[in-house]
Amino acid sequence: MKDKVIIIDGNSLINRAFFAIPSLSNKEGIPTNGMYGFLNMLFKLLDKHSPKYVSVAFDLKAPTFRHKLSSDYKGTRKGMPDDLRPQMNMLKEILDNLGINRMELEGFEADDLIGSVAKLCGRENLDVMIFTGDKDALQLVDDNITVYITKRGITNLKEYREEDVFEEFTLMPNQIIDYKGLSGDTSDNIPGIPGVGPKTAIKLLLEFTTVENLILNSEKVKNKRIRGLVEEYKEQALLSKKLATIVTNIPFEFNVDELLIKEKNIEKLIELYKKYEFTSFIRNLKEESLHLTNTTSEDEINNNLVEEEEIEFKLINNLNELSNMVSEIKKNKVISIKSIYDKANIRTNEAIGFAISDKDTTYYVDLLGEVKFIDLKVILEDENIKKITYNGKREFLIAFRYGISIENHTFDGFIANYLINPSRNKYELSDVAMEYLSKAIKSKEDLLGKGAKAKKYCDISFSDLSNYSAVYSRILFEVHCELDKKLIELNLSELFIDVEIPLVEILASTEYEGFKVDESVLNEIDEDLTNKLREIESEIYSYSNEKFNINSPKQLGVVLFETLELPVIKKTKTGFSTSHDVLIKLEKKHPIVPLVIEYRTYSKLKSTYVDGIRSVINKETGKVHSSLNQTVAVTGRLSSSDPNMQNIPVRIPIGRKIRKVFVADNNCKLIDADYSQIELRVLAHMSKDENLLLAYRENLDIHTMTASKVFNIPLDEITADIRSRAKEVNFGIVYGMSDYGLSETLKIPRKTAKLYIEQYFEKYPGVKEYMDTTIKECKEIGYVVTLLNRRRYIPEINHKNFNLRSFAERTAMNTPIQGSAADIIKIAMINVYNRLKREKLKSKLILQVHDELIIDTSEDEIEIVKEILVDEMENAYKLDIPLLVDMKVGTSWFDTK
DNA sequence: TGTTAATGCAA
DNA sequence: TATTGCATTAACA
């Protein structure tokens, strides 16, 4: 195999990275997005291709020979953005310390360096790969040189070999310059021949091959107008070609060994990464060093790389020491806590250890010896000791399992971090420590490893585990003050204290209680589905005349669109689309299509719901204990996983049967209470639109009313069909829909859809005004808020890319509505939970599905629980209009509708 | 073994 | 080219 050379156009790619990554800066405010994106891409390339030689080429400010040829060259280019300029030198410094070669040469552009070096390497029979965002480089492609052009973003690349260039341009790579010579390039201000665009240029080159040849034979050009243009502008064409030609023979001394990857300066890299807050790069650096040096231990390397935090702590492993600790803690009254246990079974998990920090001291309680978790009860249940957690749901779960409660829970760093910026997808304490304290601590992944080889806490040595836990609780104690300041600064304290913190215990309780499953029903459905699938499968094969995997969109696509030659409706980036709406359009064209639709339905039900649910039933309890996640959804909603109980089928009758599996506990009934149109009511309240408010005050049917207004039909002539179309319009408004979107869902022409939307905004002018104001404000301050001041940053709102900006605008309109509804039901959950607890009822909250609560209700408590639900849900938050709740009682979830 | 794309389920 | 999620399968690195 040939050795690989990677050559990167530094200016081009850092530019791409800069615009692809909306905003990123360290806490001093130094922008780091371009660097970060570039390095991310670089590391991925190195990882994927393992090149022997690498170089990054840069432009210098000095003018090049091209500027001397044409004073207009690149005349229309704007200068580098202010936020990007300083990142160039910072990136170069990192590259130098990574041992990666860098090229720049006065009088030449990066392209010329790349061209010259690439050709030299090509001649030495190396496999050359060029990475850039600029299609000019395609002229360099030959047998030894492949060019990769960024598509969208920076990690998405398109590979160009000779045949790929030909496929796209119908030209050979070395004709790209002739092409530019004729058609010009506005971005570089290369004139070309006026009046000759891409189409004509290609046509001419197919016949004459080069610009020179074309000029020599211009009399042979058939089109008179074009012949005139060629003759008039031949000098300009030749100049343009020259400008577009990348120099491939810069006369310089060059030895390919200069491009070898040299040794890293690890210490310096760590320093730079720390400064720019590239924590993930630090981690990767550590892992990499581990693989390289087998002789040194992990600890030694860690010490060399980052001065990881180490602290002194008191080890507690007998009851005497424990009681001393308790009396000390009772003096200080505020502690951070961290429980150590492996998740195996929600009801029988065994605690391994417990770390506690107060303002002076850190303790690690070993729970594998004389001291047991239950001995911590005196602390956890002491109402005078404030508890600080990081993902406290874990602490509540282990406490419930040992039958104790946690009192005076006042702070959770995980939740705080989420409220400060809900758009992030990782909220590890190690990252927070770096961000707020500039301290490096072991992450969970550092301790346990990741993926399938990840260890459990019980596999970790006592000293590693106790050190990790002690540091964790200490850092948590320290960082909580910083997070608290930030919450106050952002006006989030009320939401945090009144809603999110009380919710932690409730989510733990909901998960701990679980939802009872009737496995015999599950088995019946399974049998039914399995039979149906078998039958449909053989019917499908009888039409396709061959067996294939119906679940594979790729194979199905081949059968439908190649073998059976059905018309292609839509394509995905990898091939034919076989999605549901495509199949519906083909339904009547071939009998196989409805069978595939049916197969899909049953297959989905079996794999996701029957097999999926069966695999997570707890043997101990006969229930599923779904996780309700508090820091996942950017709008403030909860999310559910393992299993996801928020997407159990309901719309289609066959799917709805799955709900028969979910049943009330013994001697109980399920009560399902859901808000009636909470999001539209929130919209009415927030927009203060007179017509919407009126509708809800008078308790009118909002969909019928919208139908009448939008379609101009009298109220008493609205049919069920028209009403349901209006319902789609109402939903669409909440999502910030476009005319195209509405036309797709309603299957109507785009123009009609546009008219409907205009009608809607005319009849509900307050909504229009509210949407406009929300977007305007977001453009100014960079974020939107909900009723309870929950915040979501939307940096793309001012993006120059239309698609990104439009998406941001829809987000800005939808988030306050979806998020405020989420705020309200969270308050309702808290109030319902507290009432059940205060009134000492046996009934338990077992699920939330965005606008509905499900209570497993003891049969003797049905009436009182109904009252509590209506009362607490309808009065959770005072809007300008009433909130209404619908309720159903049943033995299974199927029966509660 | 881990990641991505396509698909489809809910509010 | 309608918002927010999660889980599955196939395909591929």
Cβ pair A346, A397 in contact under 8 A: yes
Q: DSSP per residue over A872-890, as a string?
A: HHHTSS--SS---EEEEEE
Task: Write down the pLDDT at residue A440.
Answer: 82
Q: Decide if pLDDT at A745 tops 50.
A: yes
Would the Cβ of A537 be found within 7 angstroms of any atom in strand C? Answer: no
Strands A662-663 and A515-517: antiparallel
Q: At what angle do helices A592-604 and A519-544 cross, to 10 degrees?
A: 160
- Protein A558 CA to nucleic acid B1 C1', in Å? 29
User: Among the CATH numbers 3.40.640.10, 3.40.1710.10, 1.20.1060.10, 1.20.1050.140, which is that of A515-624?
Assistant: 1.20.1060.10
> What residues does each domain of chain A span?
4-171+246-257, 264-305, 314-494, 515-624, 635-689+783-793+813-897, 700-782+794-812
Would the Cβ of A647 be found within 7 angstroms of any atom in strand C? Answer: yes
Which DSSP helix (H) or strand (E) runs through A54?
A: strand A53-57
Cβ pair A137, A92 in contact under 8 A: no
Task: Write down the pLDDT at residue A219.
Answer: 81
Topology of domain A700-782+794-812, CATH: DNA polymerase; domain 1 (1.10.150)
- Chain B positions with an atom below 7 A of a protein C-beta are 1-3, 5-11
Would the Cβ of A634 be found within 7 angstroms of any atom in strand C? Answer: yes
- Protein A551 CA to nucleic acid C10 C1', in Å? 8
Would the Cβ of A159 be found within 7 angstroms of any atom in strand C? Answer: no
Residue of A48, A38, A49 lying closest to A154 (CA atoms): A38
- DSSP tally for chain A: helices H, then strands E: 38, 25
Per-residue pLDDT band at A450 (split at 50, 70, 90): confident
Q: Of all protein residues, which has its CA closest to the C1' atom of B9?
A: A647
Q: Mean pLDDT across the stretch A68-77?
A: 69
Tens digits of residue pLDDT in A36-61: 889 988 988 888 888 999 999 998 87
- Protein A553 CA to nucleic acid C9 C1', in Å? 10
User: Minimum mean pLDDT among A138-152, A368-382, A635-649: which range?
Assistant: A138-152
Tens digits of residue pLDDT in A350-382: 999 999 999 999 999 999 999 999 999 999 999
CA dist A775 to A769, A781, A806, A816, Å? 10, 10, 10, 11
Would the Cβ of A155 be found within 7 angstroms of any atom in strand C? Answer: no
DSSP code for A499: I
User: Helices marked H in A490-569 — which ranges?
Assistant: 493-494, 501-513, 519-544, 553-557
- Protein A417 CA to nucleic acid B6 C1', in Å? 33
Q: Of all protein residues, which has its CA closest to the C1' atom of C10?
A: A552
Q: Decide if pLDDT at A809 tops 50.
A: yes
In chain A, residues 867 through 896 whose Cβ sits under 7 angstroms from any atom of nucleic acid strand C: none
Would the Cβ of A711 be found within 7 angstroms of any atom in strand C? Answer: no
Q: Of all protein residues, which has its CA closest to the C1' atom of B5?
A: A574
Cβ pair A9, A246 in contact under 8 A: no
Cβ pair A787, A820 in contact under 8 A: yes
Q: Of all protein residues, which has its CA closest to the C1' atom of C6?
A: A644
Q: Please name the nucleotide lying closest to A652, CA to C1'.
A: B9
Say whether domain A635-689+783-793+813-897 belongs to CATH 3.30.479.20. Answer: no
Q: Decide if pLDDT at A473 tops 80.
A: yes
Q: Mean pLDDT across the stretch A543-549?
A: 95
- Protein A664 CA to nucleic acid B7 C1', in Å? 32
Residue of A247, A269, A345, A249 lying closest to A98 (CA atoms): A269
- Protein A4 CA to nucleic acid B8 C1', in Å? 43
Q: Please name the nucleotide lying closest to A821, CA to C1'.
A: B11
CATH number of A314-494: 3.30.420.10
User: Among the CATH numbers 3.40.50.1970, 2.40.50.140, 3.40.50.1010, 3.40.50.300, which is that of A4-171+246-257?
Assistant: 3.40.50.1010
User: Minimum mean pLDDT among A169-178, A305-314, A435-444, A480-489: which range?
Assistant: A305-314
Q: Please name the nucleotide lying closest to A450, CA to C1'.
A: B2
SS3 at position A61 = coil
Cβ pair A289, A306 in contact under 8 A: no
What is the C-alpha separation between A351 and A343, in angstroms, rounded? 10
Burial of A359 (0-12, 13-18, 19+ CB in 10 A): exposed
Q: Of all protein residues, which has its CA closest to the C1' atom of B11?
A: A850
- Protein A523 CA to nucleic acid C12 C1', in Å? 35
Cβ pair A49, A293 in contact under 8 A: no
What is the C-alpha separation between A334 and A328, in angstroms, rounded? 11
**CA dihedral sign of residues A178, A180, A182, A188:** negative
What is the C-alpha separation between A333 and A346, in angstroms, rounded? 30
User: Half-sphere exposure (CA, 13 Å, Cβ side) for A377?
Assistant: 8
> Are domains A314-494 and A515-624 of this chain identical in fold?
no
Task: Write down the pLDDT at residue A301.
Answer: 44
Residue owning tokens 């692809």:
A20
Q: Please name the nucleotide lying closest to A425, CA to C1'.
A: C5
Q: Of all protein residues, which has its CA closest to the C1' atom of C13?
A: A48
SS3 at position A356 = strand
Q: Of all protein residues, which has its CA closest to the C1' atom of C3?
A: A735
Residue A740, φ and ψ in degrees, nearest 5: -60, -45
Would the Cβ of A745 be found within 7 angstroms of any atom in strand C? Answer: yes
Per-residue pLDDT band at A326 (split at 50, 70, 90): very high
- Protein A43 CA to nucleic acid B3 C1', in Å? 16
- Protein A876 CA to nucleic acid C12 C1', in Å? 50
Q: Report residue A589 as tokens.
A: 């064209």
Q: Show residues, CB within 7 A, near nucleic chain B.
A: A 450-453, 553, 572-574, 577-580, 583, 600-601, 604, 608, 646-652, 655, 849-852
In chain A, residues 754 through 813 whose Cβ sits under 7 angstroms from any atom of nucleic acid strand C: 803, 806-807, 810-811
- Protein A765 CA to nucleic acid B11 C1', in Å? 26
What is the C-alpha separation between A126 and A617, in angstroms, rounded? 57
| SS3 annotation, A713-765 | CCHHHCCHHHHHHHHHHHHHHHHCCCHHHHHHHHCCCHHHHHHHHHHHHHHCH
- Protein A641 CA to nucleic acid C7 C1', in Å? 9
Strands A4-9 and A127-132: parallel
Tens digits of residue pLDDT in A817-864: 999 999 999 999 999 999 999 999 999 999 999 999 999 999 999 999
Per-residue pLDDT band at A73 (split at 50, 70, 90): confident
Residue of A386, A414, A390 lying closest to A338 (CA atoms): A390
Cβ pair A400, A508 in contact under 8 A: yes
Per-residue pLDDT band at A304 (split at 50, 70, 90): very low
- Protein A817 CA to nucleic acid B7 C1', in Å? 28
CA dist A300 to A279, A286, A304, A305, Å? 19, 11, 6, 9
- Chain C positions with an atom below 7 A of a protein C-beta are 1-11, 13
Q: Please name the nucleotide lying closest to A646, CA to C1'.
A: B10
Q: Mean pLDDT across the stretch A235-239?
A: 83
Q: Of all protein residues, which has its CA closest to the C1' atom of C8?
A: A608
User: Minimum mean pLDDT among A43-47, A262-266, A414-418, A455-459: which range?
Assistant: A43-47
